[in-house]
Structure formats: structure tokens, C-alpha cells
Amino acid sequence: MPKSPKPRRTPLYSVAERERRDSSPWTKVQGVLAIVQFAVFLVSLSLVLRYLATGDGYLAATFSIVTKTLVLYAIMITGSIWERDVFGQYLFAPAFFWEDVVSMLVLALHTAYLFAVFTHFLDARGQMLLALAAYATYAVNAAQFLWKLRLARLDAGIPYTQPMTGGVR
């Protein structure tokens, strides 16, 4: 008996949404900020792990986490503007609903970290462990967006290794 073809999933973007995505200046901003945020994340993660392993470098780790949080706020604000440009709403557009849900958790954990640092609600080790929880959630969220980038490329018929004009948040 022949196999029935797989049902085709709905493309990530309609033709009009793809055009709006490609023409939005926020698309490039998102691409640049995503790279900056990932670089800051890697440096910060190494500083946090160093502090947890040795007890050295608390200020450097704290500075790096605060920097990562500020970059996160910037990418979330500009990402909301991008989402409005492309989908007509600031957050929770159907194409990015679950990414936005996890992004809210990432924001909450990073903000809780800032609260813990500035109020001394947690000791230094507790702050670093909270930062690690925020970073683990960020890693999940980054993976979600990379998956959407892959889907957008597949929808456009572009091999994953080929550069794409206009990114995806």
C-alpha cells in the first residue's frame, strides 16, 4: 500500500509578511543584536562558571550578566517592533507565539537576577545560579529562533547553508 504524502505545514510567513519582513529595518537590527547577545552570553557564561568554580571574579561576572540583560531588553524591545511591522502586533503573533512565551520567561529570570543583585535578596552564589537558570532558558529560546530561521529558509526554498536576505527574529 503506498504511503500518503506528509501533510504540508503552513509556511511561517505569508507573501505579504515576507515582504514586510524583508523591508523592515528592524530585521537587520534583530540579526545584529542576536549575534551581539550570543557573544555576550558566551563571555558571561564563562565568567559565571569561573566564579562558581573558583569564587573569583564576582564583579566581572555580575557586570557581564547585567550587560547581557541590557542587550536582552534591547533585542526584546526591537523584536516587538519588528513583530508589529511584520505581523501587525507587538507580541504573540501566531507564527512566534511559543517563542514569545519563552522570551517572557527569559525576561522574567533576567529581571529577577537584577532584583536579586540590587536588593541583595540572594547571596553571590544564589545570584550566579539564578543567572544560570536565566541562561538555560535563553539557550532554549535561541534554539527556538534558530529553528524558525531554518523553517523560513525551507519555506523560501533556500538551502540552510546559503545566506538569506532579510533575517528572521
pLDDT of amino acid 70: 98
- Give me the mean pLDDT over the 129-137 stretch: 98
pLDDT of residue 167 exceeding 90, the answer is: no
Q: pLDDT tens across 32-90, in order? A: 999 999 999 999 999 999 999 999 999 999 999 999 999 999 999 999 999 999 999 99
Q: Which residue has the cell 511591522?
A: 85
Q: Give ∠ CA 67-146-21 in degrees, rounded to 5.
A: 90
pLDDT of residue 158 exceeding 60, the answer is: no
Nearest CA among 77, 44, 78 for reference residue 63: 44
pLDDT of amino acid 169: 46
For the chain, give percent helix, strand, coil, nearest 5: 75, 0, 25
- Give me the mean pLDDT over the 108-133 stretch: 98
Identify which has the larger pLDDT, 131 or 13: 131
Query: What is the Cβ-side half-sphere exposure of residue 86, based on CA atoms within 13 angstroms?
Result: 31
Task: Say what the pTM is.
Answer: 0.83
pLDDT of amino acid 152: 81
pLDDT of amino acid 166: 45
The neighbour count for residue 71, using CB atoms within 10 Å, is 20
- Give me the mean pLDDT over the 149-159 stretch: 76
Cα 162–chain centre separation: 22
pLDDT of residue 168 exceeding 50, the answer is: no
Query: What is the Cβ-side half-sphere exposure of residue 61, based on CA atoms within 13 angstroms?
Result: 26
pLDDT of amino acid 122: 97
